[in-house]
Amino acid sequence: MLFLNRKQTLERKIKEALTAIKLERTYSKEEIVQMYLNEYYFGRGAYGIAAAAKTYFNKRAEELSVNDCAFLVALLKGPGRYSVFESADEVIGIRNRALYSYYDWGVISRPEYDSLKALPMELNAPIVEIGRAPYFTEMVRRYLLDKYGEKKLYSGGLKVLTTLDWGLQQVAEAEIAERLDSIQARIERTYPLGTPAYTSTVPDTTDSLGDSIMVYKQIQGAAISINNENGDILVLVGGKSFEESEWNRAVQATLQPGSAFKPFIYTAAMDNGYHPSDIFYDNSIKLEIPGTRDWRPHNFDNEFMGRMTLRRGLQLSRNLVAIKLLLKIHPEQAIFYANKMGITTRLSPVASLAIGTELVRPVDMVSAYTVFPNGGIRVPYRYILKIVDRYGNVLEDNSAIQKEEVLSAQTAYVMVSMLQSVIDGGTGRRARWMGFSRPAGGKTGTSDNFCDNWFLGFTPQITTGVWVGFDDKTSIGKNQTGSTNALPIWTNIMKAAHDTLPILDFEIPEGIEHIDVCLESGKLATDRCVEVAKEIFRIEEIPQETCPLHPSKGLYVSPGTVDDRLLSPEDTSDVIHF
């Protein structure tokens, strides 16, 4: 065990014999047994007799009784074969077999044997220490169990190098806990105990009659941070308390993303001939759905804002603009782009896809958002870098970064620019109010009836996503949105994540131009246009048509620049073009 591997080969058996001879010449029998017991795997994660005493009996090794020792000795034949915490009869049977060996070898007398085997045998359930980043750690454990099996996991002495940033993880856990406690307190102040939507019935464990009591449902949350460059998961929080619920909402739950899904609709459109300056109308529509009543979608504020650009529609998260855009490009097209960028759940090609009614995994959403700051390159997320067994053999090496181009750099940058508008002056502007000033883009999300609150956003270096909600789709409360509950958590995590990182801006790829457009028509701005803004275009898609609403032979000139079309030929030599 100390010096050789476990391969069942003739070579190994020869080495084992030679090693055994040398050990017996060097050490006494007692020393060899001591080394053996200090190294042996007793099951349930316990290596060595001291760990086994703690695991099975919550005692120190010197406190073990004869009965305790008999049980542990019996485990030496194969701890993995016994379900010792599930069957009291099996525990006693294991112990009694060892006690009989004591008697058979003359260590104890027959009366002692009869007396000891008549005693009850109780094991303490293993003390589970939550440890660091329990949801992340459990995700790693499940991966190892599925791939390598229980024997390798618990007796292989594996060393696993992961991607977790422990310092940032602590920040995320604290931010999640603080915000969820605040929301929980508000709910308990607002709704009396017994309100059906916010309370549930559970057995009273202190009541011998088994009566039930009413308790408040607990608000939950999840957070994931990913390094854009290599896909490393830096932070993973899967819930409010691992001790109360091991369900990992970050990777196991499928949730409605609400408006956080809209960027995939816009991406598909931008990659297929649409532009941020295109005009759509935020007004009422009626959709006929076979087999059910007509659907009249609405906006969050139940109002309509009329004519606006697609940039403005995404910035203010107008549902009607997103739905109309989806119907123009067809839902199947949007699903194709979402899948290509990293969404793995099944999406139905329905009109409500535009407002995020289909189910997604939080980790998929965060990973897919990294495509935007990565210039169209998808880097699959990873959380294990290397796995080494106790003999130094590398079982797995994931250090190589996998990359796949799923969007053009130009399309990715157009989306980065549009999502920057969300944070700089749209539904995500609270991040700026809270002091996060770095170049960043993102999107809020709130599902129907305020059940799911989201914020997903990125800088050039890191992408983070936060979800807040109840497991059973209970409403968090009227007007409780992603901006209200998820965005503050996101902001504080990102501020901590970038504390020591250089300030970087998003790289503008070749083939992108900034052009003055009229916000009323979406066309080239003339000198008569009132609402004008710089908009980005691929060079080959720069609009040629001037604004028909404000016709003029002169084009708009941005303040501080010189329009060389108004200069005489001899004056143009000193003009600097921007």
What CATH number does the domain containing 92 carry? 1.10.3810.10
Residue 125, pLDDT score: 63
CATH number at residue 468: 3.40.710.10
CB 476 within 8 A of CB 485: yes
Domain count, the chain: 4
Please state the rounded mean pLDDT for residues 451-469: 98
Please give the residue range of the domain that contains residue 568. 512-574
3-state SS of 96-141 is HHHHHHHHHCCCCCHHHHHHHHCCCCCCCCCCCCCCCCHHHHHHHH
Total number of residues shown for the chain? 578
Quote the radius of gyration of the chain (alpha carbons, Å): 32
Does residue 259 form part of some domain?
A: yes
Q: Quick one: 319 and 407 in the same domain? A: yes
Q: Which of 293-302, 331-340, 491-500 has the lowest mean pLDDT?
A: 293-302
Does residue 538 form part of some domain?
A: yes
Q: Quick one: 51 and 111 in the same domain? A: yes
Q: Quick one: 317 and 417 in the same domain? A: yes
Q: Quick one: 302 and 431 in the same domain? A: yes
Task: Give per-residue pLDDT as tens, 174-183.
Answer: 999 999 999 9
Q: Which of 260-264, 322-326, 386-390 has the lowest mean pLDDT?
A: 386-390
Residue 570, pLDDT score: 40
Q: Quick one: 340 and 478 in the same domain? A: yes
Does residue 129 form part of some domain?
A: no
pTM value?
A: 0.78
CB 260 within 8 A of CB 356: yes
> How far apart (Å, rounded) are the C-alpha atoms in residues 138 and 132?
10
Model confidence at 3: pLDDT above 80: no
Q: Quick one: 78 and 155 in the same domain? A: no
Q: Quick one: 110 and 142 in the same domain? A: no
Q: Quick one: 469 and 516 in the same domain? A: no
Does residue 64 form part of some domain?
A: yes
Please state the rounded mean pLDDT for residues 1-12: 70
Does residue 127 form part of some domain?
A: no
Does residue 113 form part of some domain?
A: yes
Average pLDDT taken over every residue of the chain: 89
Does residue 123 form part of some domain?
A: no
> How far apart (Å, rounded) are the C-alpha atoms in residues 424 and 446?
19
Indicate the helix (H) or strand (E) that contains 471.
none
Indicate the helix (H) or strand (E) that contains 90.
helix 88-104
Q: Quick one: 159 and 226 in the same domain? A: no
Q: Quick one: 478 and 362 in the same domain? A: yes
Distance between alpha carbon 75 and the CA centroid of its chain, in Å? 40
> How far apart (Å, rounded) are the C-alpha atoms in residues 362 and 365?
5
Q: Quick one: 228 and 282 in the same domain? A: yes
> How far apart (Å, rounded) are the C-alpha atoms in residues 371 and 419?
13
Residue 317, pLDDT score: 96
> Of the residues 450, 471, 497, which one is the last residue of a structural domain?
497
Residue 128, pLDDT score: 56
Residue 119, pLDDT score: 85
Residue 204, pLDDT score: 56
Does residue 76 form part of some domain?
A: yes
Q: Quick one: 339 and 465 in the same domain? A: yes
